[in-house]
């Protein structure tokens, strides 16, 4: 489990497609503190560490990614040098600064608008129709592993504001129109919508 609070920016340094895809990610995380088999959210996708090491001034870890995960997320668009949001798995007693995030991506949202709004940046997205009913104004949503609050919803389109701090310490500063973003709906919204089907 995660909270959607990004704790590092990783950089893709190698991609190896032999059966499953193996991705090597350089990070400022201490490799000595990462166990083989540990879960790390990479752009919001919960992946398992299969190898790790130190290189120069930083550390790296390898993640093995199934074809299904590549097909359902934006991992297929990663290239050498891609910058991705990282979050270590939640530990008992950790601060819950965002919302509960599983790291199981529900679909891809497309960036359709980026514009300044005060000091913040307003991003608008088109969500898959099947997921739109789970997105509500003032509700939580995880986008590329970042816990965000939904501002408004109109059909399949929704918007969020990203403050300068978040933009500076996450991959949002590099996001462009047309980018496909990993979207995980709020677990609570999923169950509320399911219960409403029985009313």
Cα–Cα distance, 121 to 100 (Å, whole number)? 24
Q: What is the DSSP letter of 73?
A: S
Cα–Cα distance, 122 to 131 (Å, whole number)? 21
Residue range 75-107, pLDDT digits in tens: 999 999 999 999 999 877 777 778 889 999 999
Cα–Cα distance, 10 to 33 (Å, whole number)? 16
Domain containing residue 142: 107-196
Residue range 122-153, pLDDT digits in tens: 999 999 999 999 999 999 999 999 999 999 99
Q: Mean pLDDT for the chain? A: 93
Query: Is residue 99 situated within a structural domain?
Result: no
**Model confidence band, residue 188 (pLDDT cutoffs 50, 70, 90):** confident
Out of 19, 54, 88, pick the residue that ends a domain.
88
Percentages of the chain per state (helix, strand, coil), in multiples of 5: 20, 45, 35
CB 85 within 8 A of CB 143: no
Out of 22, 53, 88, pick the residue that ends a domain.
88
Q: Count Cβ atoms below 10 Å from residue 154 Cβ, excluding itself.
A: 10
Out of 88, 117, 138, pick the residue that ends a domain.
88
Token pair, residue 182, equals 């990993």
Query: Is residue 137 situated within a structural domain?
Result: yes
Q: pTM for the full model? A: 0.92
Same domain, 69 and 15: yes
CB 22 within 8 A of CB 81: no
**Model confidence band, residue 199 (pLDDT cutoffs 50, 70, 90):** low
Query: Is residue 163 situated within a structural domain?
Result: yes
Token pair, residue 23, equals 């991705």
Cα–Cα distance, 189 to 99 (Å, whole number)? 12
Query: Is residue 192 situated within a structural domain?
Result: yes
Q: 3-class SS at 194?
A: helix
Query: Is residue 127 situated within a structural domain?
Result: yes
The label of the residue with tokens 């709906």 reads 185
Token pair, residue 81, equals 């040098």
Spell out the alpha helix ranges (H) of 39-186.
67-72, 129-132, 164-169
Q: What is the CATH number of the domain that holds 13?
A: 2.40.30.20
Q: How many structural domains compose the chain?
A: 2
**Model confidence band, residue 194 (pLDDT cutoffs 50, 70, 90):** low
Query: Is residue 56 situated within a structural domain?
Result: yes
Per-residue pLDDT for 173 more than 70? yes
**Model confidence band, residue 197 (pLDDT cutoffs 50, 70, 90):** confident
Same domain, 148 and 191: yes
Query: Is residue 101 situated within a structural domain?
Result: no
CB 97 within 8 A of CB 126: no
């Amino acid at each position: 489990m995660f909270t959607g609070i990004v704790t590092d920016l990783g950089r893709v340094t190698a991609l190896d497609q032999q059966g499953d895809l193996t991705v090597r990610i350089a990070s400022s995380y201490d490799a000595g503190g990462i166990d083989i088999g540990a879960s790390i959210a990479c752009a919001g996708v919960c992946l398992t560490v299969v190898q790790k090491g130190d290189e120069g001034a930083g550390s790296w870890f390898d993640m093995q990614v199934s074809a299904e995960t590549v097909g359902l997320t934006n991992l297929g668009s990663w290239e050498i040098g891609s910058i991705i949001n990282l979050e270590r798995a939640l530990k008992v007693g950790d601060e819950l600064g965002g919302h509960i995030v599983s790291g199981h991506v529900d679909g891809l949202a497309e960036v359709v608008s980026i514009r300044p709004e005060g000091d913040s940046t307003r991003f608008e997205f088109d969500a898959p129709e099947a997921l739109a009913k789970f997105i509500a104004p003032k509700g939580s949503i995880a986008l590329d592993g970042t816990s965000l609050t939904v501002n408004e919803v109109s059909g399949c389109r929704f918007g969020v504001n990203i403050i300068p701090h978040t933009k500076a310490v996450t991959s949002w500063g590099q996001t462009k129109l047309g980018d496909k973003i990993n979207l995980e709906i709020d677990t609570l919204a999923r169950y509320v919508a399911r219960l409403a089907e029985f009313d």
